[in-house]
């Protein structure tokens, strides 16, 4: 019988990694993956504004533009679509699977004062970019200050 050296720290590290993953999946990224119970994917978004427009960027890797629907109702933006598997592979044939497929949806509130009818969308390298111009009244205006002369 061979004697094997016990290394307690290697076991603690794997426990720590398991706890980190548990907290990350539960609190940091809730509902971002598709589960076996039909959960909805929520794509990651970046939303920022410039003086003239609001820009929304959504990470949608592997999704074709024709599989995406963008809807703006009032001040609510909704991005819906479906990520489709390339081929049918039986679940029991997988050795490891992290890529997820299925229906996704994400709704966010937009600021008021946007020309939603003039919105433009483009898709490049798996990133959807939606540009929505601001109405003239919503754009920042610069007011110059005139100094009074002393008499």
Enter the tokens of residue 108. 């966010």
Residue 46 belongs to domain spanning: 34-88+98-137
Q: Is residue 149 part of a domain?
A: no
From CA 63, how far away is CA 78, in angstroms rounded? 16
Q: Is residue 60 part of a domain?
A: yes
Query: In total, how many domains does the chain have?
Result: 1
From CA 41, how far away is CA 33, in angstroms rounded? 5
**Which position has the higher pLDDT, 139 or 107?**
107
Q: Is residue 133 part of a domain?
A: yes
Q: Is residue 8 part of a domain?
A: no
Which 3-state string (H, E, C) describes 76-116?
EEEEEEEECCCCCCCHHHCCCCCCCCEEEEEEEECCCCECH
Enter the tokens of residue 66. 């024709």
Q: Is residue 61 part of a domain?
A: yes
Q: Is residue 107 part of a domain?
A: yes
pLDDT digit string (tens) for 100-117? 778 888 899 998 889 999
pLDDT of residue 124: 93
The CATH number that applies at residue 108 is 2.60.40.790
Read off the pLDDT band of 45 (50, 70, 90). Answer: very high
Q: Is residue 3 part of a domain?
A: no
């Amino acid at each position: 019988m061979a004697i094997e050296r016990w290394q307690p720290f290697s076991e603690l590290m794997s426990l720590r990694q398991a706890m980190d993953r548990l907290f990350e999946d539960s609190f940091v990224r809730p509902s971002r993956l598709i589960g076996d119970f039909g959960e909805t994917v929520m794509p990651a978004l970046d939303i920022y504004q410039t003086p003239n427009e609001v820009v929304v960027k959504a990470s949608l890797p592997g999704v074709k533009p024709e599989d995406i629907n963008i809807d703006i109702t009032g001040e609510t933006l909704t991005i819906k679509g479906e990520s489709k598997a390339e081929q049918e592979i039986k679940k029991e044939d997988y050795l490891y699977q992290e890529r997820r497929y299925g229906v996704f949806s994400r709704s966010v509130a937009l600021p008021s004062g946007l020309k939603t009818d003039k919105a433009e969308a483009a898709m490049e390298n798996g990133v959807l970019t939606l540009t929505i111009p601001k109405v003239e009244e919503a754009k920042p205006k610069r007011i110059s200050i005139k100094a009074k002369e002393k008499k």
